[in-house]
Structure 1
Amino acid sequence: MAGTSTHTVTNQPPPLVGYDVFAADRALTEAVRRHTAPDVLDEVRAELTALGRAAGSAQLQEWAVQANEQPPRLRTHDRYGHRIDEVEFHPAWHRLLGKGVSAGLTGAWTRPAGHVRRAAGFLVWTQVEAGTCCPLSMTHAAVPALRADPGLAAEWEPRLTSTVYDRALRVPGEKPGALFGMAMTEKQGGSDVRANTTGARPLAEAGTYLLTGHKWFCSAPMSDAFLVLADAPGGLTCFLVPRVLPDGSRNVFLIQRLKDKLGNRSNASAEIEFDGTWARRVGEEGRGVRTVIGMVAATRLDCAVGSAGLMRQAVAQAVHHCAHREAFGGKLADKPLMRNVLADLALESEAATALALRLAAACDDGGEQERAFLRLAVPAAKYWITKRCAPVAVEAAECLGGNGYVEESGLPRLVRESPLNSVWEGAGNVQALDVLRALRREPGALDACLTEIGRAHGADHRLDRAVKGLFTELADLEGAEGRARRLVERLALVLQGSLLVRYAPPEVADAFCASRLGGDHGASFGTLPSGLDLRPVVERARPA
């Protein structure tokens, strides 16, 4: 055939496919071993290995492409003019979501080492297609909110933690598994949920209401039920809104439009209207924020875990490419400057993974000390890890050169997805202010964090010096709002440094402390100081 002699393909890396996403991630496998009791470790590893192999398969990677190329569509009416308000997804989306449900990614609350195994699985699954992680996260996080009402929890929790995916909209009591969404945000309020105007009118049946109002963002609008905030006579209250009522009729749930988003395109987010929508109260009237706080904490942790997963996939793709691609007489990964870039990216990824899994382990522990630790560490980790995700994804794409700017590489999808978690569940300022609130009102939270950090005292002089700097920041909380981001950044970094000094290989901990805590780091990646042993750092990050 004419022209084929000029089209010999050389010097291109093989596809990163057909591998175990879990087992190839040394930082993750070590964290799972560290935080899992020996009596269930083999079971957890086997489960995560099965998920990792599926995540690295050509089949699931193809489904992810299809789900993004064929985004969801809104059908407000059927052919006869009846209002149905359904969201249609490509079959690949349903296959992926079903796989996530069957892998137990909504069932952390009922299993040994449940949060650690789920967080590790969630981190792996984010690397396949992050869009399906939204309904998985919402469903998982709904459980602690529903437990404010034991009757509702008994009714719904078995379905939410089920490993059966049932996509049909039908009477919840007839379904073996169910998904939950969330609708809190209104256009005039954003994160200020106390500015919400959606109203709730009590009905004669105790605990039931009719809702009227608008929600600017509704997550996962194809779900079976939603947690919603609305103003009842007693104040802002949490409600459960089912899509299908017990008699089989559709609840009033009017989807006005789907959002056209930067990323997360396989997933649907919507604007919705309530107009006499039937709902059941969750918790007490006037205590809506307190009722949903457990859900918010769980979804914020998922933001950190999900961003760690996106970073890991970006770094894996960059290291894989550079380990095979040759330029200027050798492999890219062997060039000192590229090695510096890759090692710098790898440090960010490993630090994020270590902190995210440590938080999951605290959820499994459930003790008073660990609950106090989570109160401060979750918003700090959510702030910092999600902030670092976007620059990591962009730099990783640059490692592939022009190839990284082409959709087929998968990097553009990671780049588009990377800012999401920093916005979702409260943007950076909200997290920073929440940290200040905890510092001022809950001294036990700071004590728990400092205890965790102090476990590495004396192991690295740069970490010790950074902790002293943090003490200086903490000594004066008056007027701290303007510097709250700096304070939260320092807290997150010393938490990460403490974990890496204790558990990571020496070359990883040394490079992290020298660059992130020692002050010898530039504004961009690839500026690690000289004298560090970077080759094993890069090799450790390689998806072997």
Structure 2
Amino acid sequence: MNYVDLDPALQPLIESYLDSSDQQLLTPVLTTLGADAADRLAPLADVADRNPPTLAQFDREGNRVDTISYHHSYQELSRAAYEEYGLSALSHRGVNGWDDVPPHLVKYILSYVFVQAEFGLACPVSMTDAAARTLRRFGAGVEIAEAVDRLISTDPDRRFTGAMFMTEIQAGTDIAQTGTVAEREGENWRLSGRKWFASNPDADITLTLARYPGGDDTTRGVGLFMLPKRRPDGSKNSYVIDRLKDKLGTRSMPSGEVTLDGAYAVQVGKLERGFRQMAEMVNTSRLSNAMRATALMRRSINEALAHARKRVVFGRSLIEAPLMRMTLLPLQAEAEAALGLVFYSGDMLQRADGGDAGAAAQIRVLTPLAKHFICKRARFVTGEAMEVRGGRGYIEEWPDARLVRDSHLGSIWEGSSNVIALDVLRCMRKQNTHRLLAETMTEKLGAITLAEAGAEILELLSRWKSIVDRGDALLSAEVNDAGSSVAEALIGNYADALAQLIMATLLLEQADVESTRDGNYRKLLVTKAFIAGNITADDTAVAAILPRLEDIVDGASLTSDAVASPAPVA
């Protein structure tokens, strides 16, 4: 089995977004990882989930050590992620055959395949990558340069892992309530306070927030600091791990409570811009959250399809049952739509880093939109896929239950859905990003020449006009008599509708590319299924595509005739 081969949407998107030289370098490592993820890494992930890490706070002499012990399965997964595939280094240096830094999409593509095997480890991998990015953008000095060098290393004797300690009991969403304080110690700082939810708590390098002397009581009074696990002289830094969390999912990876007691720290960037600088790390992790949620969708659908093909009910395979097909087809369409948004967002991030102001404005709002919608939908998709397997799916001996447990993380980590929706509203208020997205997507629709998609093009053009008007109305809404913002109350549903329109447009654009480039109309059927299921709520239109389910999930090459007249259900 190879996870890459099981994904009919992946390779065509790679061909659309990466140039030929990057494709040539990516192909061998992607092929290797696809097989490795299915054959070696997924079984290891099952074992690691059943054997979570443990904390030893003291050694046998009574000395405080705060050592976290990991099962060998997690250690092998870590070697694969950090060393063999360099997932945390890919956005920073040449690895896996690249002499220079590959496009961001290479990292997202390889991570997407890896996460289909193991989700929990992807959190510290993502934080390691994001910590390096943040330190490179805002940090200065020898210590920070050394930290970055080791965060992006694939050398087992040198590599560091990263983390971010933001959440406190009273300051999760409201960072202005941060209670950790920073005091000057020569050129550096001493931090004291308690962090309540710290994933990868024994990381070598942690970015954290603390109040600094003279700062005000807003987020501008919170500075960003680099907290090394060890002081420059090699001694253990002055913080302890109070306990590890007993979590619903991501059980292979530790999260804990940490108390800082005059811990040595290095200032990162300008003190009054600490929260804004930390937002760089958070936003990078948020986009990775959307990617990871998409990977969970893909793996869960693969599991559902494998069961539906094998299971015989009333004399025929389950996948032949019309109602089961009506369950599976929308899940497939959702997963492909999510992957398309991840690809587009990764490409926008690359362009933004290259100085494209329009792309920078887009990725600023695409990141929360992708996290808000995709992470919530992953909970639904993994749940539906688990139900396909029935009672077996509910049993922990199969991967479905773990996929469902892990899927609930994305909507919570790095900002719960309401927080993320308000971030979308903030983007709209500052830059009218709903209008920017509408202009960009309308331009894409205008360039599509696919005659068979005429009805969908007209439908989406109409919807884009409507959603711009709806967004304008949100921004102009007055505070009502009860003192509540109408815009804040409605932004969650609006963000979902906006995300779905973007995904539908990107699907249609990709369908146009594949029909022109490859003569394959499979993607157009997927697009029609997504639009009918998510935009127009036309179940009859979805049902008309059901006869082509196997062709769609198997990545068959279909002519335009398949769009005009699907074969009858067997």
Question: TM-score, with normalisation over the residues of structure 1?
Answer: 0.90
**One-letter code of the match for 1:311?**
M
Equivalent in 253, 256, 261 of residue 275 of structure 1: 261
Number of the residue aligned with 1:189:
171
What is the match of residue 490 of structure 1?
497
Paired residue for 1:127, among 116, 123, 138? 116
For the 8 Å contact 1:373–1:449, the answer to whether it is kept is no
- Tell me the residue number matched to 1:238: 224
Show the counterpart of 2:73: 92
* Mapped partners of 1:462, 1:537: distance in 2: 24
Name the SS of the counterpart of 1:271 in structure 2.
Answer: strand
Q: Letter of the aligned partner of 2:190 in structure 1? A: L
Give the whole-Å Cα distance in 2 for the aligned partners of 1:123 and 1:512: 21
State how 1:376-415 maps to structure 2 within 5 Å: 376-415=365-404
Q: Secondary structure at the match of 1:210?
A: strand
1:540 counterpart (529, 547, 552): 552
Does the residue aligned with 1:357 lie in a helix, a strand or coil?
Answer: helix
Distance 1:503 1:487 in 2: 24
Question: Which position in structure 2 is the counterpart of 1:148?
Answer: 138
What amino acid sits opposite 2:472 in the alignment?
A
Provide closer, same or farther for how the CA distance between residues 491 and 453 of structure 1 changes in structure 2, counting only shifts above 3 A.
Answer: farther
Shift of 1:129: 1.4
- Which deviates the most, 453-462 or 182-191? 453-462
Q: Secondary structure at the match of 1:56?
A: helix
Q: Write out aligned runs for 1:9-408 (5 A).
A: 19-57=1-39, 59-102=40-83, 103-107=85-89, 108-111=91-94, 112-146=101-135, 147-151=137-141, 153-166=144-157, 176-204=158-186, 206=187, 208-233=188-213, 234=215, 235-366=221-352, 367-408=356-397
Q: For the residues of structure 1 that align with 2:174 and 2:554, how far apart are their CA atoms?
A: 43
Q: 1:37 deviation in Å?
A: 1.4
Take 2:128 and 2:432, find their aligned partners in 1: how far apart are those partners?
32
Q: Distance in 1 between matches of 2:496 and 2:36?
A: 35
Query: Any unmatched runs of 5+ in structure 1?
Result: 1-18, 167-175, 522-527
Q: Aligned-pair distance for 1:23?
A: 3.0
Aligned to 1:443: 432
Cα deviations by residue, 1:228-249 (Å, 9 ceiling, x for unpaired): 0000114200000011112111
1:86 and 1:177 map into 2 onto residues whose CA distance is: 18
User: Structure 1 residues 247 and 33 mapped into 2: Cα distance closer, same or farther (>3 Å)?
Assistant: same
Contact 2:325 2:549 in 1 (8 A): no
Alignment-derived partner of residue 433 in structure 1: 422
User: What SS does structure 1 have at the residue aligned with 2:153?
Assistant: coil
* Distance in 2, Cα, partners of 1:110 & 1:356: 22
Contact 1:32 1:117 in 2 (8 A): no
Q: Answer with 435-444 or 72-81: which moved more.
A: 435-444
Counterpart-to-counterpart distance in 2, 1:498 and 1:444: 16
Q: Residue 422 of structure 1 is aligned with which of 411, 421, 429?
A: 411
Distance 1:258 1:113, change over 3 A: same
Higher normalized contact order (CA 8 Å, seq sep 6+, divided by chain length) = 1
Distance 1:149 1:24 in 2: 42
Deviation string, structure 1 residues 382-438 (Cα, Å, up to 9, x no partner):
100001011111110111111111112210101111110100000111111001111
* Cα distance in structure 2, aligned partners of 1:136 and 1:481: 33
Q: Kindly state the Cα deviation for residue 448 of structure 1 after the two structures are TM-superposed.
A: 4.6
Structure 1 position 211, deviation (Å): 0.5
* Residue 291 (structure 1) shift: 1.1
The answer on whether the counterparts of 1:144 and 1:295 sit within 8 Å (CA) in structure 2 is yes
Give the stretch that moved more between structures: 243-252 or 21-30. 21-30
Structure 2 CA distance for aligned equivalents of residues 100 and 294 of structure 1: 23
Give me the whole-angstrom Cα distance separating, in 1, the residues matched to 2:357 and 2:92. Answer: 18
Please give the secondary structure, in 2, of the residue aligned with 1:20: coil
Distance 1:304 1:453, change over 3 A: farther
Kept after mapping to 2: 8 A contact 1:386/1:422: yes
TM-aligned CA deviation for residue 225 of structure 1: 1.3
Q: Deviations over 1:94-128 (max 9, x none)?
A: 11011011212112233544311110111111111
> Structure 1 residue aligned with 2:525, among 487, 490, 507?
507
Q: Which amino acid counterpart does residue 95 of structure 1 have in structure 2?
A: E
1:468 is aligned, of 465, 468, 471, to 465
Alpha-carbon offset, residue 462 of structure 1? 2.4
